[in-house]
Structure 1
Amino acid sequence: MANAQPVRTSAQSELTAGYYFMLGRHLETTGDIEGAIAAHKRAIELAPDSAEVRAELAGLYARQDRAREAVRTAEDALRIDPSNREGNRILGSVYAAFAEQSRAIVAGDDPATYASRAIAALEKARRDGVFDIGLDLMLGRLYLHSGNTAAAIPALKRVVEDQPGYPEAAMQLSAALEQAGQLDQAVRTLEGFLQANPGFSRGRVRLAELYEKQHRYAEAAGAYAQAQAADPRADTTTGRAAALINAGKPDEARVLLQAALARTPSGDPALLYLLGQAQRQLRDLPGAAATAQKLASAFPGDPRSLYLQAQVLQDKGAKVEALAAFKKLMAAAPDETSFVYEYANLLDETGHPAEAERALRDLIVRDPEDADALNSLGYMLAVRGERLDEAVELLKRALKVDPANPSYLDSLGWAYYRQGRLDLAEAPLAKAAAELPQSSAVQAHLGDLRFKQQRYADAAAAWERAVSGDGRSFDRAAVEKKLHDVRARIRK
């Protein structure tokens, strides 16, 4: 008769499972991955009701990029104990990684569902009242990518406060704040981070982009310059030059662009296009025309050469020729909507108002939130003095999309002015003029408002700025006559 085997107690079984659990961890640290997997599987055999040992094996699979096995094993652990934190952490982490890559873990899966699955699992992995930087950062990113900025912002703030030198957290928090419409806070977040970490070039570029959204173009140009100084490999010339042009500093932009082109013997279409824009702003129309021709010769398929040529013709007052050039441009780039705004304006100026309006309304039908189209049509109606109530509504819609845009503010103020609602015109026109001091058109509008308000000295000052400004989109002779008349009135 064989010797009877002693009956194992539950405690003895768990102890043995614990041994293999620890052995698996040890073997993983030595690089024996298959041995570690075998040890964890043995632990599972000995403790089949333990969620913890399954979660440990799931973590090992995840660290080895064996996503399918990690998910399957984590789900096994959670079937035993749905609240197991490690199982939820592993499952959520794997889903989060594949959600960012838009890759399926298993054939037939929809990666679009992974973010919500990851969030559900990671929220269960949290401990109440306990800060976990890894979890909060992962959840913050998932909330952000899911559009839940209300949840993303506090999670990411905790990470930034705990790790103020961690660039990814600052970038994510800034993005969440921007998405939530808190642009000023987004800027301050990056400014604060960069003050302590001045060498973070990517953060400087992102800050420059945010400054541009605030129409703080001079500061944007400075941020682009600092980004390149921090990392000379990061060529920010085009961004910096565009910001300088928008800031009313075309002379600085021209110097920067000419130096960059001298280093690029084969030429660069973006640099040439921006050089032409700087030359236009400097009223160097022969130079701009030559640059447009050079762009067309070197890069014949680039529609920006046609656009620049059309703009130069318009600047010269050759509106019929400019209209023909724009029509050629529309045929060459029918899907490029950004050219339509000036084309429509030129159509209106050359006696084709119905065609101009139709071109802009077509854009709005395609995209009801096309702020530039809404602004262009609203301003066109305001200039004509037609359907002014509709003009105001169109311009309010444009400002809902981009509330701080000074050009849109000017358009709305001018529509109110044309309605005779001077009290409502005051705030948008004053703000637009303060933000666009070099815009002849905007300063002329403010001058007209000040004259109607009988603030004659202020009207004269605004018209003087208009005359010395960029010279675009305003009637110089008419403004000079107004300026002469108001000066005579002031002297009386």
Structure 2
Amino acid sequence: MTSSPRRRRTRYARKLILRRGLVILGGLAAFGFAIFGFIRLLPEHRDPAAAQAELAKSIAAFQASNANAARAHALQAVRADPSSGAAHAMLARTLLELDNGLAAEAELDLAESHGYDPARTKYMRAQALLLQGNPERALVLVQETAPQDRVHGLRIRARILTAMGDLAAARDALGAAVDAAPRDPAVWTDIGRFRLSAGDIGGAIAASQRAVELAPGDTNALVLRGQMVRTQFGLVASLPWFESALKRDPWDHDALIEYAATLGDLGRTRDMLDAARRALQSRPGSPQAYYLMAVLAARADNLDLARGLMARTEDALADLPGALLLGGTLDIEAGAYAQAIDKFGQLVAMQPMNITARKLLALAYLRSDASRDGISVLKPVVARADADSYSKMLVARGLERIDDRGLAARFLDWAAYPTRGGSPSFSADDSVAVTDIAARDNPGDPDSIIPYLRALIDAGQTDRALARAREVARDNPGAPGSHTLLGDILMLSGQPAAAASAYRDAASLLFDETAMLRLVEAYQASGNRQEAARVLALFLSQNPNNVAALRLTGHWQLAEGEYDAAIATLEGLRERIGDRDVALNIELAQAYAATGDVDAAVDAGIAAYSVSPANPAAADAYGWALYKSGDIDGAEELLAKAARTAPDHIGIRGHLNVVRAAKARG
């Protein structure tokens, strides 16, 4: 069968197009080879004068503490004269300052190949290896540091030893560095970072102060100082330090990350997002930037976006408590309970007294049908007199699943009861003899000492516990935890005034939510309400979005009859945490009822009661709101229920008597 004329013309046209395309490609290839050959025949393009000028600018920018500008100028110097060993070495220094060990090592190779003295690159190569996660090789290499680079070598040696866990040797290296260069701000900045990692907050504060005194414009010193001011005083006080660092180097990654995190905690989400995005531009792929953006996404309830952003961190933040908390929470929301258990398990191991982490770990266990593990995790939490209702409810649900219905019912009743006790330490899991062994084997480890002190208290040996706690505080004056431990023992010993003094020492180093709450509680217990109020106001001025501080402020305002102020505080809090917080809605119902806004009082009462109908405080608030609205029968029914659940509660009984008296009057 022969092809039609039309088909033959189509095939011919296709062959013609293909032939022409091959001719064009061949011509372009020939032209390209010709250009390549021509370039190869030319002498290497160099502009030593321009390279020298850019190198000088790089050195000046580096000395002015602008590592990003220094890198840009060093790169221009290398481009102007690729054979300049000094330019390559300078580029390597800037890359090391920006934590890019791999690229720095490549530049050091080029520097040496173009005549740069290999002896002068030893400490830089060691730093590059450390950044690449190879401290063993780095330690060998740093020992070959040239004499003129001794201080640099000692600083890098200290970092290597810290990474390897040899803190004593790292401390010795830093001591030698400060002896050799007592006015070097970089040495004091490294000392501050080392002390911070070792838990010596007081020592880190002092070192950061010394660093900025010696170099008020040093970016690294300013960032460290900002971190310590945030720790010591609060969020607002730290902002100027990070802003000063960013004036020196607007693209400094660490400054941007710390600035963004602080802005986020202050509720300045737009500014936080801008700073996080700039950090991502400064260091593409930054895990810290992705994490902060994930936090924002989670707060906006965009959980899919938050999960995607956390995935981009690629487990680079596996040791960061906040990242573990967020990652585990997202895993629970996605039903990935095994992953959540892994993350929360790590977090509880890192922070055994983190109650939030324990509750979330227990929830993950319960949802994965490991109820006994969930109960075990919450055992030290529900042993406290101030155990929260949610923890009790989780234990109750776990007990139901293992068919211990009687005990489950007791926990459900306890969860509904409105009164709360004090805040003692966790109960001990082992005997004095067992915990004493661990404490003696690890005399400087709080995780070993605290269980020992708990065991002493449980055994009625409070005096021995107090004496040991005083030793810990005396031997670790820069560690907030040591003073907090002493304060806890003093509170348990019935000495709130002395406990307040210990808590004040802790708060002078680390003024966080825990320190504030303990200090306020101690001042209240010792009868110094004025000082307690001052501490709360000071903390809230630095942390205006802190939920615990806002909740406590609203509670005090309500108790003192400042109903309008209480409503403003509590409504602002409700906007932040939602409408399903029972205690918050109870207090809103009480405040609105006191001001005569009965509709708002009833709405808040309904919100509290619908979430926790077995809670007598919720039934009381709802019932009292109904009474204020004129619904006597509805009020009596709810208040009678509340009184049956909490028969010893004077306030509930008083409300019920008022309602019944009104009903009797007709």
With normalisation by structure 1, the TM-score equals 0.49
TM-score by length of 2: 0.39
User: Relative contact order, CA 8 A, sep 6+: which one is greater?
Assistant: 2
